[in-house]
Amino acid sequence: MKRHAEEQDEHLHKARKSENTSSPHGRPAAFRVHPATRFEGKFPFYRQPKDIGCFSLDADRFFYNDKSQLKWLYMPENVNKVNFNLRHGYKVFRKRDDSVKDYIDDLLRWILVNRKKFLLPGQDEVCDGAFPPNLHTDFVCWRGLLTKLLCTPYENKDGWLIGVTKFNGTYYMCEYDTPEKIAERETMSERQDEMCYWGYKFEQHMVAAKPDSQPDTCVPVSNYEAFCLVVRGRLKEHSLVFAGETDCYDTKEKCYVELKTSREIYQPNQDRNFKRFKLIKWWAQSFLPAVPKVICGFRDDDGVVRQLKTYRTLDMPNIAKDIPNPWDPAVCMNFCDQFLTFVKQVVRKDDPKIVYMFKWYPRQDITWTEHPQDSKFTFLPSWFTDPDQQGNSGSKLETSASS
């Protein structure tokens, strides 16, 4: 019976694969996303992801191979009676210039410093002569990129652009801003900019710098500092290493916690929107690295949080089930699996300077273009790909490597 089901599944998988249009070079030219029902089926194998390290970025965005920026959850005693005014301090917000692109340099710095973590069991040193060594990993990227992939079958507003470079057998993926995203940022109103600040101010109310200390809400909020977890996971035949900024650690439950804000919910349509558009993103973001819970501060239109609510990551799909046509986590994961297979079919040349750009807009197929060496999209830095440039990785990489 099980075998029969597997055969059917395999048959269906092949049938779906052939729905993608082929280019003359034998590579699929496009990947069909819609309708999302194409990806229905059983939840694919996703191995329990494991933390394999972490890094910190300080107030100057210098890289440290340590937990120095880890923050500790501070849970107020009465979650139904808090009073956080998130508008406080907006004028002195130390805000990063988000038009300056991040690429994946910090993750690459972490890989270089921790290259021994990629050796196979029994392999005691880097022996294949390659630099950096073979990572025995299919995909390397930021967690945020995977979150976007998981949400794609249900996304109807924002498209994405993903650059992929194959180097020493590993597919490095890097997100680029779409022209629409750039335009949105450039035309953002003061009110929208302030509302972005609220999320960071909320974090400040909920975390302490040490396990036994209290939040300090008098200092200006800054979004320069970051603590990032590096995680290894496997989705069917794809091994993944990804890093994601992680808000805090809960010493009571011994787990990492994600913090969010959301508008107080009074109307049925607000409830439906929360479940359809927010919960899917929260689920995808936290499910990927196995962060078990999200604490949400519900705020009013004046930026005041009066209530906190904890959502278990694994409960989120069930919570969202009572809306019409709810999102299905199996669709998200099957889509991601099949997209990664598509990337492996398309990206043939193993060359650190060639970028394959994958483009998607809501209601459309995913298409791709190949960009030659040293195009404006090349994103792997020479300090990562060239042994002679190793010392030029910037920041405090070499001095912090031993910590």
Residue ranges in contact with ligand A3P by CB under 6 A: 196, 199-200, 202, 247, 260-261
Which does residue 161 touch among Mg ion, ligand A3P, none (CB within 5 to 8 A, set by kind)? none
Touching Mg ion, residues 244-263 (CB under 5 A): 247, 259
Closer of 82 and 126 to ligand A3P (Cβ): 82
Q: How far is the CB of 170 from ligand A3P (least distance, A)?
A: 26
Residue closer to ligand A3P, measured from CB, 173 or 346: 173
Kindly state the smallest distance separating residue 30's Cβ from Mg ion, in Å. 34
- Which residue is nearest to ligand A3P, using beta carbons? 199
Residue 94 Cβ vs ligand A3P, minimum distance, rounded to whole Å: 14
Residue 335, binding choice from Mg ion, ligand A3P, none, Cβ under 5 to 8 Å by partner class: none
Nearer to ligand A3P, 284 or 336 (CB): 284
Q: How far is the CB of 199 from ligand A3P (least distance, A)?
A: 2
Own/partner pairs, 23-31, CB within 8 angstroms, 24+ separation: 27/345, 27/346, 27/348, 28/342, 28/345, 28/346, 29/367, 29/368, 30/365, 30/366, 30/367, 30/368, 31/338, 31/339, 31/342, 31/365, 31/366
Collect all residues with Cβ–Cβ distance below 8 Å to 227 and sequence separation of at least 6.
Answer: 54, 55, 56, 67, 69, 70, 71, 245, 246
Q: Which is nearer to Mg ion, 249 or 342 (CB)?
A: 249
- Give whichever of 90 and 172 is closer to ligand A3P, judged by the CB atom: 90
Closer Cβ to ligand A3P, 63 or 200, answer by number = 200
Choose between 33 and 294: whose C-beta lies nearer to Mg ion. Answer: 294
Q: Which is nearer to ligand A3P, 71 or 238 (CB)?
A: 71
Task: Please state the closest distance from residue 288 (CB atom) to ligand A3P, in A.
Answer: 12
Count other Cβ atoms within 10 Å, centred on residue 86: 25
User: What binding mask, one character per residue, do residues 133-172 give for Mg ion by CB under 5 A, x or -?
Assistant: ----------------------------------------
Tell me which stretch binds Mg ion (CB under 5 A): 166-174, 180-188, 239-247, 316-324.
Answer: 239-247
Sheet of 248-250: strand order equals: 84-85, 304-312, 293-299, 255-263, 248-250, 72-73, 207-208
Burial zone of 359 (CB within 10 Å; 0-12 exposed, 13-18 middle, 19+ buried): middle
Among ligand A3P, Mg ion, none, partner that 200 touches (CB below 5 to 8 angstroms by kind): ligand A3P
Find which of ligand A3P, Mg ion, none residue 196 binds, CB within 5 to 8 Å per kind: ligand A3P
Shortest distance (Å) from residue 77 CB to Mg ion: 22
Residue nearest to Mg ion (CB): 259
Smallest separation, CB 282 to ligand A3P (Å): 8
What does the binding site for Mg ion look like in residue numbers (CB under 5 A)? 247, 259
